[in-house]
Amino acid sequence: MSNDTPSSQERRDTVDRVWGWHAADLVAVAVIGVAVGAVFWLWNILWTVTTPLFVAFPPGQAVIYGMWMISGVLGGLIIRKPGAALLTSVVAASVSAVLGNHWEIIVLFHGALQGILPELVFLLLGYRRWGMGAAVLAAAVAGLSPAIRDNVFYNLTWPLGYQIAYALIAVASSAAIAGVGARLLTTALAKAGALAPFPSARG
């Protein structure tokens, strides 16, 4: 006779739902990471060709930075398991590195950091909240990575006002493109039936 009570069984089901990884989750990490990594490669080109447009105000180019934050947020929203945001971001960065980018292998470090930050937000939310607010918050926090890192390593000679503007624009871009964008894309994929194996299939 089983000693399990309904409450203990329910707790185990919850733990498995939140923490238990399955083959479909790993496949999703790979698919999302590869697809977004290819987009990153295209975005690298876009960044290069649009640079002359921001000669008068270089911090303004950060308005398109948010796309590079989308992998971790999207992976977290779709898979909804601990580590999903981090793993998806690292895979996307790896694909970007293989295809070629300005930052070469260091992009893996950037990818890890940009995955850890939204991962921490989802963790603090108990891996229970996946709405627009959670997505925007996770993306905005991810945007703190380039906001701080780029000013320290690349924009050090800029006036302080430029550095502050760059940081604010990068965070806002991340919230809009990676946060709102990832949430809307998750909803669209759910409605199309593409997320059937995942809790995110419910939107």
Cα–Cα distance for residue pair 193/47, rounded to 1 Å: 33
pLDDT tens digit string along 68-84? Answer: 999 999 999 999 999 99
With contact defined as beta carbons under 8 Å apart, do 89 and 110 qualify?
A: no
With contact defined as beta carbons under 8 Å apart, do 107 and 126 qualify?
A: no
Q: How much is the pLDDT for 15?
A: 44
Q: State the Cα angle at 108 between 86 and 144, rounded to 5°.
A: 65
Give the pTM: 0.87
Q: What domains appear along the chain, each with residue ranges and CATH number? A: 23-202 (1.10.1760)
Q: What is the pLDDT along the chain (203 residues), one digit of tens a residue?
A: 445 555 654 444 444 455 589 999 999 999 999 999 999 999 999 999 999 999 999 999 999 999 999 999 999 999 999 999 999 999 999 998 888 766 667 788 889 999 999 999 999 999 999 999 999 999 999 999 999 999 999 999 999 999 999 999 999 999 999 999 999 999 999 999 999 989 998 86
Encoded tokens for 31: 């698919």
Give the side-chain half-sphere CA count within 13 A for 147.
21
Backbone angles phi, psi at 101, to 5 degrees: -155, 170
- Residue 47: what residue type? W
Q: State the Cα angle at 58 between 52 and 64, rounded to 5°.
A: 80
Give DSSP secondary structure letters for 67-136: GGGHHHHHHHHHH-STTHHHHHHHHHHHHHHHH--TTGGGHHHHHHHHHHHHHHHHHHTTT---SHHHHH
Q: How much is the pLDDT for 9?
A: 47
Q: How much is the pLDDT for 8?
A: 55
Q: Which residues contact 137 (CB under 8 A, 6 or more apart)?
A: 121, 179
pLDDT tens digit string along 106-125? Answer: 788 889 999 999 999 999 99
